[in-house]
Amino acid sequence: MTIKSGLRKLAPRTVRVHRILAGPLRGRLIVTSLHDYPGAILGRTEKPLLAWLRNNVKPGETWLDVGAHYGYTAIAIAELVGREGSVFAFEPELTTAGHLNRTRSLNSLDQIRVVPFGLGAPGDLRSVSVSVDRGMADHTVGGTDSTEIWVIGFDHLWRMLGGRPVHGVKIDVQGMEAQVLSGMVETLAAQRPKLAVEFHAGVDRQPILELLSKAGYRLPAEPIDRILSESDAEYRDDHSYAFEPVPA
C-alpha cells in the first residue's frame, strides 16, 4: 500500500459540494468526496491536461469530455468554449453523472450537457457490467463492487443528435480506449477534431495507433505531460497524449 492510497482510505467518503481551493479552477464548485477525488478539491490534478486545453480550445467550439467523472475537466473546457460553445460530458456511472449534473448547475455552466452513457464500439445502446472505483466505471480493476452501465457507439449516437461539428475530444475511460475510438472513427476521419487520449494498463496501443493513423492523425503523438519526451517510443500508462490531425 502506498502512502497516497493509505491516506485515501482515511478520507471522508461523503459526497458533497466542495470549493476548489487552488489551481486554474480555483473558486469553482465541484460535487465529489475527499476519498474519491482529493486532487480536484485541492486543485492539484490534471495540470498538464488543463494547460493543453487552454492552448487548444476556442470560444464557441463543441468538445466531448469522454469519461467526465465528477466534472473537473468539463468545468475547464466549459470555461474555454464559453456560453456560445458546448461540452458533451459522457459519464456512464449514473450516481456520478448525477453529481456531475449538480456541479454543472452550481457553476451555472449551461453549456455542459451531461450524457449518462458510456461510449463504446460501433453499434446501438447496450449494457455492460463493470467494476466501480472512486465513482468511475473502471475496466482496469477487478472486484465485487460492480454496476451495469449503458454504452453506445459515438458515430451512431451523433447521427441521431444531428451530427454537428466536433472540434475536440478528451478521452479518459479506464481501459476502454480502443472501443471508444473505434465507435467514433467516422467522426474522427471526417472532421479531424483535436484529440487527447489517456492510456491505461492492459490496453494494446498498436490497434489504436493504426486506427488513428488511418483516420488521418499524425504519429507519434505528443505527450501532454512535458516530463515525457516526444521521442519516447512507449505510450505510458496513466499519461495523456495529443493526437494532431494531418492537414487535409
- CATH code at 226? 3.40.50.150
Q: What is the DSSP string of 128-166?
A: EEEEEETTEEETT---S-EEEEEEEEHHHHHHHTT----
- pLDDT at position 232: 57
Establish if 197 belongs to a structural domain: yes
3-state SS, residue 170: strand
Instruction: Please give the grid coordinates belonging to residue 125.
Output: 445502446
Is position 206 within any domain? yes
113 assigned to some structural domain: yes
**Cα 73 to the chain's mean position, in Å?**
7
Residue 25 lies in a domain: no
Dihedral, 97, 126, 213, 186 alpha carbons, nearest 10: -100
Residue with cell 468538445: 63
Q: Is residue 211 part of a domain?
A: yes
Type of residue numbered 240? S
Count of Cβ atoms closer than 10 Å to residue 106 Cβ: 13
In a domain, 103, yes or no: yes
239-243 vs 222-223, strand pairing mode: antiparallel
The pLDDT, as a whole number, for residue 139 is: 67
Based on the structure, what is the number of domains in the chain?
Answer: 1
Residue 225: per-residue pLDDT:
84
pLDDT at site 1: 45
Please indicate, yes or no, if residue 210 is contained in any of the structural domains. Answer: yes
pLDDT at 142: 57
Model pLDDT, residue 4: 53
Range of the domain at 129: 45-243
10-residue averages of pLDDT along the chain (248 residues): 55 93 97 95 96 98 97 98 98 95 98 96 90 74 72 95 94 94 97 97 95 96 75 80 91
Res 93: pLDDT: 93
pLDDT at 24: 95
Is residue 185 in a domain? Answer: yes
